[in-house]
Structures are given as C-alpha cells and as structure tokens.
Amino acid sequence: MIPTLAWTPEGVRFIDQTKLPLEESYVLATTYEQVADVIVTMVVRGAPAIGVSAAYGIALGALKTKATTPAEFAPEFEQICARLAGTRPTAVNLFWAIDRMKKLFARLAAAGDSLDEVRGKILAEADAMYQEDIAACKAMGAFGGALLPDVGGVLTHCNAGALATCGYGTALGVIRSAVEQGKKIKVYADETRPFLQGARLTAWELMEDGIDTTVICDNMAASLMRAGKIQAVVVGADRIAANGDTANKIGTYNVAILAKEHGIPFYVAAPWSTIDLATATGEAIPIEERPAVEVTHHGGKQLTPNGVGIRNPAFDVTPAKYITGIVTERGVLRAPYVESLRGMELAAK
C-alpha cells in the first residue's frame, strides 16, 4: 500500500509528494508546527490526507506539551488547532478533523480525565480517523466502480488517490475498484497545471498498481472527448456545499463543462467529511490563492517574463448542475443535491 502518512514512535512520517515521482523520500514531523509546515508546502496534500495529518499534528502537540493537566493544556490546545487550521482554507476535511478533536478534548476535560488519558484518547481518535478514511475509500470504490463502463476511457483531474487519502483514494479508489471488478479501464490523467498532481502523482500511483494510464495536458481533454476516447469522468472534492456545488482542483470546472457538452457522465467521489452542509452554495467556499512562483517557474526554471501579472487560485467550484452523481461511502447521491445530501445526513443520525 502507498504510505501517504503514518504514525511512528518518533512522529508522523510523510511521503514527500513534492519529490514524486522522481524520488521516493520521506519527511518526519516531530512537532505540530512541522505538521503545519508539511501541509503548507504540499509535502502532504489532498483533502482527506490533510485532515488526518492535522489530527496527528494535534496528537503530537498533546504529547509534547509541558502542561500537566487538561486545564493547563487548554490554551495551548487552542493555539495548536488554530495553527493547523491556518494552513490551507479550502478543503473542509481539515476543519472537520480539528473540530472533531476540539469536541473530544472538551468532553474529556469535562469528564475529569488526566492529561495522560487525554493524550492517549487524542491519538486513538487520530488513528480512528485514519482507519475510517481507508474504509470510506473502499466503500466509495464499491459504489462508484459499478458506475464505470465495462470497457472504456475514464478521465480524472488532479490526484484524488491513495496519496490524497490514507489509502486507496476517492476518485482513484473508484477506478481501482472498477479494475478489480475486471473492467477494462484506460485512465486519462490530466497533468493538472501548475502543481502537476496528475502528471506526477496520479500517474505514479496508478503505474505502481499496473493500471493502464495515459497523461494528457489539461488542454487536450476536449479533443479526446470529441474523438470518443472518454466514457466517464471521475474526480475528487475539497468541499461540497449543501446544494452539491463542488470545490476541487483548479480546472475541474472546465472538465465538467466539457463532459456535459459531450454527453459524458461526470462523477465526484468524496467521503462525508468533505461535505459541508453549513455552506449553502459554492459561492461561499473560500478558494486558496497559492504563491505565484508555482506558475512563473517550473523545476527551478523561470517560464514567464519578469513582472507579468500572475493568478494562482488552487481550486474552482463546479456548479451542481454539471455533476451526474456524488459517490460517498454512504452511497451515490443524485440531483437535486439539496435534498439528497440532507436526506442522507438525516438517515445517518
């Protein structure tokens, strides 16, 4: 299995996703500040993976504190949560994980647990999130794999794979499951400028699994669709609003429009921790703007003239009307999403 992140006795170990596919190296974070740094610098990325990373960051903060009681630790706990929450704004999984830890800490402190008990339970909660994420990916795979054609091309954008989760992947989990079911899937991976998660990461992990994969530049999708090479699109998500509008890697919106124009189903695969019922529509989803250098330079080489204006929004929002189905670990949702999302949330309570 691809080791995206792992808890070790020394700290949290991350595969360095900025170095893949040319180098398989690891970064060890021994403090919560270092976990925050690996999230900001994209050593670890992908919505579910950064949520679980933050949970382990909180566990590291609790282990390293010099406080002796939960009450003494409380202000530091808030500071740790605030630092981790300040790393990246779009993927709601980050805030979901931090919120879950805040609720746990409040419960344990109120119950009179010792700081050592709190430490153990916080780490156990992070471990539970890790295991739940893998289980959710497997369940999405089973639901979503059935939607893919028996034979055909499937386009994906960015990396919503094992590297973006604790294992197996969301969109790539759906593809993995279809392949495991014996379907003959040819994957087209958008390179995903500017950070190249598709060319570097999706291609790397699918090749590791021996899945038929072809990388295309982002501007090639329309002509492949027109040529009949693509029978379905499946992507991940960073935040799904209550009406189904979906934030995902910049360029996802383009693909969704192209899919609609060519009559190709467009699926989003995401765990329930990506669904944000408190955000009514995509308009309210905060979009991260990343450093200009990711656009102006590649591999240390400058591509653009000095002083030119640069924009680098890391995500866009695909309006719900373009989404054929949202695959979650609870099942596949269909439009109208306001009703199907709320209905499935109520049914799970």
Classify the C-alpha dihedral 220-225-230-231 as positive or negative: positive
How many residues bind ligand MRU (CB under 6 A)? The answer is 17
Residue nearest to ligand MRU (CB): 236
Q: Report if residue 314 touches ligand MRU, rule: CB under 6 A.
A: yes
CB of 48 to ligand MRU, least distance (A): 5
Task: Name the phi and psi angles at 256, rounded to 5.
Answer: -65, -40
51 versus 153: smaller Cβ distance to ligand MRU: 51
Q: Which stretch binds ligand MRU (CB under 6 A): 73-81, 210-218, 236-244, 295-303?
A: 236-244
Q: Which of 34, 87, 165, 213 binds ligand MRU (CB under 6 A)?
A: 165
245 flagged as catalytic: no
Q: Which residues neighbour 57 within 8 Å (Cβ) at sequence distance 6 or greater?
A: 12, 29, 32, 35, 36, 80, 84
Q: Which residues inside 252-311 make contact with ligand MRU, applying CB under 6 A?
A: none
Binding mask 68-107 for ligand MRU (x = CB under 6 A): -----------------------x----------------
Cβ-contact 36, 84 below 8 angstroms: yes
Cβ-contact 216, 189 below 8 angstroms: yes
Cβ-contact 158, 252 below 8 angstroms: yes
Q: Report if residue 160 touches ligand MRU, rule: CB under 6 A.
A: yes
Q: Which of 58, 158, 179, 199 binds ligand MRU (CB under 6 A)?
A: 158
Angle between helices 70-85 and 32-40 (to 10 degrees): 10
Q: Report if residue 236 touches ligand MRU, rule: CB under 6 A.
A: yes
Strands (E), 120-244: 151-156, 184-190, 213-216, 232-235, 239-241
Strands 151-156 and 301-302: unpaired
Q: Report if residue 197 touches ligand MRU, rule: CB under 6 A.
A: yes
Q: Which stretch binds ligand MRU (CB under 6 A): 113-121, 177-185, 231-239, 302-310?
A: 231-239
Strands 275-276 and 297-298: unpaired
Q: Which of 190, 238, 245, 316 binds ligand MRU (CB under 6 A)?
A: 238
CB of 62 to ligand MRU, least distance (A): 25
H helices of 193-308, in order, are: 203-208, 221-226, 252-261, 293-296
- Applying CB under 6 A, the residues found at the interface with ligand MRU are 45-48, 91, 158, 160, 164-165, 170, 197, 236-238, 248-249, 314
**Catalytic residue numbers?**
238
